[in-house]
Amino acid sequence: MTKDILIHQIVDVLKQADFIVSKRCNIRPRSFDLAARKDNILLFCKVLYNIDGLNEETAYEMKALARYLGGSAILVGAKTRDQMLEDSVVYMRYDIPAVNVQTLYDYFVENVPPLVSAAPGGLYVSIDGDVLKEARTQQAMSLGTLATELGVSRRTISKYEEGGMDASIDVVLHLEELLDVALAKSIDILQAFEKKLKEPPMPIEEKKYPQEDNVLDMLHSLGYQVVSTSQAPFKAISKDNHDTMLTGVSTYSSAMIKRADLMSSISSVTQTRSVFIIKGPTKSETVENTVLIEEKELDRMAGPEEFVSLIDEKTKCKKH
C-alpha cells in the first residue's frame, strides 16, 4: 500500500464521518498532511505508512499547531517496525495517538472506540476498577483468592481496582471470564492526545525568527502573538484577542500562489483567516480566501485594527 492510497482511504473515512477535509498538504516539509473538522473537533492528521517515521521535530510542531488552533493531532499509518498495525489498538508516538485506517473508521464512523493500547512489552487494556471491585465483592471473592486465580500478587489486583495499572489482554479476558462482567475501558483517542499533551509550546518570547525576515517582528509589534512554524504550509500563526490568522511570507511567485491556495483550504477547516505578506509587488489581491498584502502596506499599519480593516476591504473586493 502506498502513502497516496492510504491518504485516499483516510479522506474517505473522514468524509463518511461528516468531516470537512482540507486539500492535501503536498508541499515539503510538512508537519501534517490533512486538516479536518467536524463541529468542534479539529484534526491535524499526519499520514505515514510506517508510524516510526515520525520524528520529534514534526511531532512537536503538530502538537503546537493543535494547541494554538484548538485541535488534536493524530497519526495514521499501516505498520510499525516489521509488523502491521492491529485493529482497535492505539499506538503512541511522541505523545500523539497513532492508529490504522480501520481503527479510524471504527472510531469516527461507527462510534466504536478502541480498547487496546500498545506499549513496550505488548498490548494492554485499561480496566474499570470500580466494576472489578464491585464484581469481586458481589461474588465474595477476596483479593488473595482472585490474585491466586490469576497468578498475580494481591497488590496487582489492588492496582487494577484503583485504576493505577493496565493489564495484558490475557489477564483481562481471564478476569472477565471469572467474574462474568465486562471490564475493559474504551480509549477516547482525542482525550488520549489531550492527556499526553503536557508540555506547552515554546513561548513566543523564545521563538527566534530568521534574521532576514522582519515581517513576523512587524506583526508582533502590531500586537499579535506570532508563533512561527518550520514545516507547515504557512510561515506562522498570528493571534490577537479577536482574530487568528494563518500567515505566509514570500515574494509573489507560482510557488507562493500554490501555497496561498493550500492555506485557503486549511483556513476554511480551521476557521481562521488566511493572509500572505508579499515582499515586493503583488499581482492580485487574493488567492481564493487568502488575502495578499504587500510588506510596504503592513509597514504603514499602526495596529491590528488597521490590518484587519485592510484584510476585510480586500476580501470584499474579491466578492465583487
Q: How many CA atoms lie within 13 A of 291 on its CB side?
A: 23
pLDDT, residue 203, reads 44
What Rg value do the Cα atoms of the chain yield, rounded?
A: 24
Contact of 245 with 239, CB cutoff 8 Å = yes
Q: Which whole-number Å values give the CA distances from 48 to 74, 93, 98, 286, 309, in the listed order?
A: 11, 12, 10, 33, 41
Q: Three-state DSSP class for 92?
A: strand
Phi and psi at 57, nearest 5°, equal -65, -45
Q: Three-state DSSP class for 171?
A: helix
**Which residues are paired to 41 by β-bridges?**
38
Low-confidence ranges of the chain (pLDDT < 50): 201-209, 211-212
Residue whose grid cell is 488552533: 69
Tens of pLDDT, residues 183-241 = 999 999 988 777 665 555 444 334 444 544 688 989 988 989 998 899 999 999 999 88
pLDDT, residue 319, reads 59
Task: Return the beta strands (E) in 61-164 as ranges.
Answer: 72-76, 79-80, 83-84, 89-93, 96-99, 116-119, 122-127
* CA 195 to mean position of chain CA atoms: 13
